[in-house]
Amino acid sequence: MGEDESSILVMKLLHIVGARPNFMKAAPVIHVLDHESSVHQMLIHTGQHYDANMSEVFFRELDIPEPDLNLEVGSGTHGRQTAQIMMRFEEVVLENRPDLVLVYGDVNSTAATAMVCAKLWIPVGHVEAGLRSFDRSMPEEINRVITDQIADVLFTPSRDGDTNLLAEGVSQDKIHFVGNVMIDTLIHLLPKAETHWETDQIREWRERKYILVTIHRPSNVDEPAVLTEIMKTLGAISERLPVLFPVHPRTAKALKRMGYTKKNSNFHLMDPIGYLDFLALQQNATAVITDSGGIQEETTYLGVPCLTVRKNTERPVTLTTGTNILVGQDMEKLRIEMDRILSGESKKGALPPLWDGHASARIAQIIASYT
């Protein structure tokens, strides 16, 4: 007697996204699992990022479907936002009873939904597990540690992730070194990014040299004295080469509170831009100044010099293997390192292991065999 379709076991899988980096990590996994008939996928957006330029645009650019559900949590304090996500997501879990929930990265949505699942005995997979800055003052670090202790399946992007998890007592059989899903998305979208040079915000820069900036972390933007020094240094750098700075909403609010006014026409403060526009700019930049973890990874793959305005990083492979240099909040060091880059003495990097565009396929293979 043949097996009919109704007798085939199908895994119900929920993907959780809430902020810009999550979308880029989830997209390649969703695409690969679309070809697995044994997996039924649902995409849940917590609504942690609600600005159109920080959210909806990425669903279009990454070729992933609109979410099956949007919890519409919005902004708030860490405690309030986490609590709202937990309350609303618990209803989703109780209604759908998934076999596995995939969480991504280190935002509040990641830890909040993982905690809900743990209390309801729903297995959790964590994509981008094991990364550590060893700085508990960072909310993201707390989210990483909590999620990794809860998760049942941990997908690490680099070998240091495995080492960190084992040191924290995570069982070896839960850990899977798969590579970096962000690089999967990057490789997939590079050809499409090349077609975006005709968009209004970036057209004029196609044949010009420039430095690309993105600064948004609370440690850099919430203290006026710190942000003032950063902006002063970026302004000075722009006297040598134009600086393009797509301003994150959090940073824009801080600059407005400060009453900041730029003094150099070579310093270009821009509205937030889509991922494809940003990727086009990033690929062709002379250098990138950032405090974003994902951009440290992308510049390493692209071979673009990266100066990170942070005292630490949860992505040390971008320092040991890639093109990244930490400058902390030492603006003199930022000037010195930028001088080296502009003098043709930039750091030369290489690709870390398994940053090959196939991390999502390795994740999908593990998920398909997970019962």
Q: Are 359 and 272 part of one and the same domain?
A: no
Provide the angle, in degrees to the nearest 10, between the axes of the packed helices 359-368 and 181-194. Answer: 130
Let me know if residue 348 belongs to a domain. Answer: no
How deeply is 14 buried, as exposed, middle or buried, from its count of CB atoms within 10 A (0-12, 13-18, 19+)? buried
How many other β-carbons are positioned within 10 Å of the β-carbon of residue 167?
10
Q: What is the pLDDT of residue 263?
A: 86
Q: What is the pLDDT of residue 5?
A: 44
Let me know if residue 38 belongs to a domain. Answer: yes
Q: Are 218 and 300 part of one and the same domain?
A: yes
CA dist., res. 305 & res. 95, Å (int): 48
**Residues in contact with 170: Cβ distance below 8 Å, sequence separation at least 6, in sequence order:** 148, 149, 154
Let me know if residue 158 belongs to a domain. Answer: yes
Q: Are 154 and 207 part of one and the same domain?
A: no
Joined tokens for residue 83: 């609590």
CA dist., res. 228 & res. 184, Å (int): 36
Q: Are 364 and 333 part of one and the same domain?
A: no
The one catalytic residue among 176, 188, 216, 358: 216
Q: Are 216 and 334 part of one and the same domain?
A: yes
Let me know if residue 231 belongs to a domain. Answer: yes
pLDDT reading at 265 higher than 50: yes
Count up the domains in the chain and report the number: 2
Any idea of the CA torsion for 223, 229, 231, 236, to the nearest 10 degrees? 180
Supply the range of the domain harboring residue 277: 189-342
H-type alpha helices, 122-267: 139-150, 159-167, 181-194, 218-221, 224-237, 249-258
Residue type for position 92: V
153-181: pLDDT as tens digits? 999 999 999 999 999 999 999 999 999 99
Let me know if residue 152 belongs to a domain. Answer: yes
CA dist., res. 229 & res. 292, Å (int): 19
Q: What is the CATH number of the domain that holds 25?
A: 3.40.50.2000
pLDDT band at 371 (very low <50, low <70, confident <90, very high): low
Q: Are 63 and 112 part of one and the same domain?
A: yes
Let me know if residue 25 belongs to a domain. Answer: yes
pLDDT reading at 4 higher than 60: no
CA dist., res. 246 & res. 234, Å (int): 13
Q: Do 36 and 360 meet the contact criterion of CB atoms below 8 Å apart?
A: no
38-59: pLDDT as tens digits? 899 999 999 876 555 445 666 7
Joined tokens for residue 264: 């150099």
Q: What is the pLDDT of residue 21?
A: 84
- Checking 217-223 for CB contacts under 8 A at 24+ apart, the result is 217/291, 217/310, 218/250, 219/137, 219/138, 219/291, 219/310, 219/329, 220/291, 220/309, 220/310, 220/329, 221/248, 221/250, 221/251, 221/254, 222/254
268 flagged as catalytic:
no
Q: Do 211 and 179 meet the contact criterion of CB atoms below 8 Å apart?
A: no
Let me know if residue 349 belongs to a domain. Answer: no
CA dihedral over 260, 250, 57, 357, signed as positive or negative: positive
Q: Are 27 and 77 part of one and the same domain?
A: yes
Q: Are 143 and 268 part of one and the same domain?
A: no
Let me know if residue 347 belongs to a domain. Answer: no
Q: Are 31 and 72 part of one and the same domain?
A: yes
